[in-house]
């Protein structure tokens, strides 16, 4: 690597400053700064560690719920009255290395002209909105464009020709309508997958919707091989759907052109019996994480299915293994501070708290710090 003294670097930057836009100059400075910032051993397990409190200025959130243009009401805890902010004062510390801080200017520059797409359910959307917020905070004056037409939501950073998208497909596989009934096609993904072609980075997630029943169930029948059933073992169905997804990736994604990630299951905190000294029956009122190393909770069935399917794939797919580290964050959910709730619901935390999604800013910013680390450092 060619080494330059600090004065030489500054001279080069000053010579170019007049021809650069303000945001581009900021990117140049950030990139110069990053040459000495390394995450530690390349082989570090960044998902094994603990949460440490950090009251320094570096721990302050990069954005607020009032300034990011894409935060959904259900994630915007600050806007909807959450009174505490200590949940923003914890950073993830891997056991054997340091994570590089998320550098939005660096991300924008490295990914110039590319497309990053998240595909999945509302937890994937949680992470997509976090990433857009982090990048917007790094270049707040840079022109941008948001286009939302469900199931595709696209945010473009015009100056960098970077597209960051979310495609809603909670099962990943297709849902067809047959004689007025919604059929979850366990062996067909072609319609959804049309939207994913050509992306430079794909991050998928699925799992939660496969166990929903009643009004929350997103289908009427399951279909496979031309046959239909009213139901089956949900983990068997999930495994078949995931296998269809895996086969599509193996056949259609060129690893030389596209990086593929899979976000592991995001945990919930609806039963305070799962942790010591609870303050309510669920996540409401919790203000500090669980202490110690990663949660020892039993893995969900979806986790086991996901890991088995990924291990059997030909294509390299990186697992964004956020489950255990997120399981420690009983304090980071919206609980009643969600714009999706009426005043009456917000007054009834025992019956209405959201202990599935995560506040923004908040925990998904750490997911994106890990995503950034895997993307550029490992």
Q: What tokens does 356 get?
A: 């599935």
Say which CATH topology domain 50-376 has. Rossmann fold (3.40.50)
CB 200 within 8 A of CB 157: no
Cα–Cα distance measured from residue 214 to residue 233, given in angstroms and rounded to the nearest whole number? 15
pLDDT at 229: 97
Active centre residues (catalytic): 122, 354, 357
Please write the tens of the pLDDT for every residue from 268-324. Answer: 999 999 999 999 999 999 999 998 755 445 567 999 999 999 999 999 999 999 999
Instruction: Please state the rounded mean pLDDT for residues 156-175.
Output: 98
Please write the tens of the pLDDT for every residue from 40-83. Answer: 547 899 999 999 999 876 667 899 999 999 999 999 999 999 99
Using alpha carbons, list the distances in angstroms from residue 336 to 13, 151, 354.
48, 27, 6
pLDDT at 98 over 80: yes
pLDDT at 41: 46
Going from N- to C-terminal start, the domains of the chain cover 50-376
User: pLDDT confidence of 378, banded at 50, 70, 90?
Assistant: confident
User: First CA to last CA across the chain, in angstroms?
Assistant: 19
Average pLDDT of the residues of the chain: 89
Instruction: Please state the rounded mean pLDDT for residues 354-367.
Output: 98
Taking the CA atoms of residue 124, residue 126, residue 130 and residue 133 in that order, the dihedral angle to the nearest 10 degrees is: 110
Q: Which long-range contacts (CB under 8 A, 24 or more apart) does 172-180 make?
A: 172/119, 172/120, 172/204, 172/206, 172/241, 172/242, 172/244, 172/245, 173/241, 173/244, 173/245, 175/218, 175/219, 176/223, 178/221, 178/223, 178/228
Instruction: Please state the rounded mean pLDDT for residues 29-40.
Output: 40
pLDDT at 42: 75
Instruction: Please state the rounded mean pLDDT for residues 105-131.
Output: 98
């Amino acid at each position: 690597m060619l080494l330059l003294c600090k004065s030489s670097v500054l001279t080069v930057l000053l010579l170019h400053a007049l021809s650069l836009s303000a945001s581009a100059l900021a990117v140049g400075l950030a990139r110069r700064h990053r040459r000495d910032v390394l995450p530690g051993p390349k082989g570090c397990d960044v998902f094994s560690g603990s949460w440490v409190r950090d009251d320094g200025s570096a721990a302050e959130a990069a954005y607020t719920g009032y300034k990011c243009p894409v935060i959904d009401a259900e994630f915007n805890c600050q806007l909807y009255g959450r009174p505490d902010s200590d949940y923003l004062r914890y950073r993830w510390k891997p056991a054997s290395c340091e994570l590089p801080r998320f550098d939005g200017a660096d991300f924008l520059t490295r990914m110039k002209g590319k497309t990053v797409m998240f595909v999945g359910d509302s937890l994937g959307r949680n992470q997509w909105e976090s990433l857009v917020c982090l990048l917007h905070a790094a270049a707040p004056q840079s022109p941008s464009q948001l286009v939302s037409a469900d199931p595709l939501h696209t945010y473009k950073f015009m100056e960098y020709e970077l597209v960051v998208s979310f495609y809603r497909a909670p099962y990943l596989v297709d849902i067809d309508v047959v004689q007025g009934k919604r059929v979850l096609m366990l062996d067909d993904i072609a319609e959804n997958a049309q939207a994913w072609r050509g992306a430079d980075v794909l991050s998928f997630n699925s799992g939660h919707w496969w166990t929903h029943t009643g009004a929350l169930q997103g289908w009427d029948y399951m279909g496979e091989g031309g046959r239909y059933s009213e139901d089956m073992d949900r983990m068997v169905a999930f495994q078949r759907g995931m296998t269809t997804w895996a086969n599509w990736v193996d056949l259609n994604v060129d690893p030389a052109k596209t990086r593929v990630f899979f976000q592991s299951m995001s945990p919930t905190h609806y039963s305070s019996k799962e942790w010591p000294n609870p303050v309510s029956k669920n996540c409401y009122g919790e203000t500090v994480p669980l202490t110690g190393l990663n949660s020892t909770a039993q893995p969900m069935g979806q986790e086991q299915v996901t890991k088995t399917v990924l291990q059997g794939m030909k294509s390299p797919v990186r697992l964004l293994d956020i489950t255990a580290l997120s399981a420690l964050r009983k304090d980071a959910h919206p609980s009643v501070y969600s714009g999706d709730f009426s005043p009456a619901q917000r007054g009834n935390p025992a019956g209405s708290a959201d202990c599935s999604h995560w506040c923004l800013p908040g925990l998904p910013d750490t997911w994106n710090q890990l995503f950034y680390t895997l993307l550029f450092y490992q």
